[in-house]
Chain A
Amino acid sequence: EDQVTQSPEALRLQEGESSSLNCSYTVSGLRGLFWYRQDPGKGPEFLFTLYSAGEEKEKERLKATLTKKESFLHITAPKPEDSATYLCAVRDSGYALNFGKGTSLLVTP
């Protein structure tokens, strides 16, 4: 059975303090690992898709990386507007996504 575990559950950073969020997964055949950002009261917003170990994607202060067992979302010099819940999901066969429970990030000025 596919499993996705995100850590930490919550993270508090000061503005400018870089850190990483972790997503570990077990899946029979990975067909994509997805990162989403979710603001309170809104739907998940797509950030990245990674398909194979060694792949990296960047967007502004965010960088996602992938190994055979886990993915990291690196946040460089975060700003308060980066505060949100970050969700990780994996896809094996078909289209269904298996989501982790998310990491709640708070960036304080």
Chain B
Amino acid sequence: NAGVTQTPKFQVLKTGQSMTLQCAQDMNHEYMSWYRQDPGMGLRLIHYSVGAGITDQGEVPNGYNVSRSTTEDFPLRLLSAAPSQTSVYFCNRTGPPTDTQYFGPGTRLTVL
């Protein structure tokens, strides 16, 4: 799993529900990020973090919140789910010395 774990693997929500997608890494790397993958769209960056307590927005941040209280964990929160957030979500970590980004196995989310 490239040192990145994601839970849950599958989730079905109703419109308006909230939930948190969990992501954890075991390599003590500073940089972590969240992407979503949709058919025909490629992977798009949602939020990223360059270290504990530091987060920033990516290309498609609306409807999502993140926090980084520890180096290991980087949860993604959906405050009020919408059908447009139906997607597969990938978390990753970036490690030295090549700054390669390693992806987790993904969470498949369906919003009805």
Contact = CB atoms under 8 A, between A and B. Distances in A.
Nearest to B90: A43
B86 to A, nearest CB: 16
Interface stretch (A14-22, A60-68, A92-100): A92-100
A34 B101 contact: yes
Contacts of B106: 41-43
B101 A95 contact: yes
B58 interface: yes
Interface residues of B, number: 27
A101 B43 CA distance: 8
Interface stretch (B13-21, B61-69, B72-80, B92-100): B92-100
B48 to A, nearest CB: 7
Nearest to A46: B100
Interface string A32-60: 10101000011111100100000000000
A45 B105 CA distance: 10
B50 interface: yes
A46 B44 CA distance: 17
Contacts of B42: 4, 87, 99-102
Contacts of B98: 49
A96 B45 contact: yes
B63 to A, nearest CB: 19
Interface of B: 1-2, 4, 31, 33, 40-45, 48, 50, 58-59, 90, 92, 94, 98-106
